[in-house]
Amino acid sequence: MGKIGLGQWIRPLTAPHVTLMYADRRVDSEAIAPIGWTVTEFVLVHSLLGRSQYLALGRWPLRG
């Protein structure tokens, strides 16, 4: 993100990611078939910590 000029907007601990599950327990590793999906847009989301609320700050369509 810093390389394309977004460095001013990221904190040192920022890690772009996809959350697959919230759980109070550990899940054992298990081999699965690859997962794929078509992505049509990029959304910058602000997480309100401890509230389980998320605000979409911006949306950008992906064209290919």
Query: Could you report the per-residue pLDDT of 4-48, keeping only the tens digit for each?
Result: 777 676 666 666 777 777 778 888 899 999 988 898 998 888 888
Q: What is the pLDDT of residue 2?
A: 66
Q: Please name which of 21, 23, 2, 27 lies closest in space to residue 12, comparing C-alpha atoms.
A: 2
pTM value > 0.85: no
Q: What is the pLDDT of residue 26?
A: 85
Q: Left if phi > 0, otherwise alpha if psi is -120 to 50, otherwise beta: which for 5?
A: left
Q: What is the pLDDT of residue 14?
A: 63
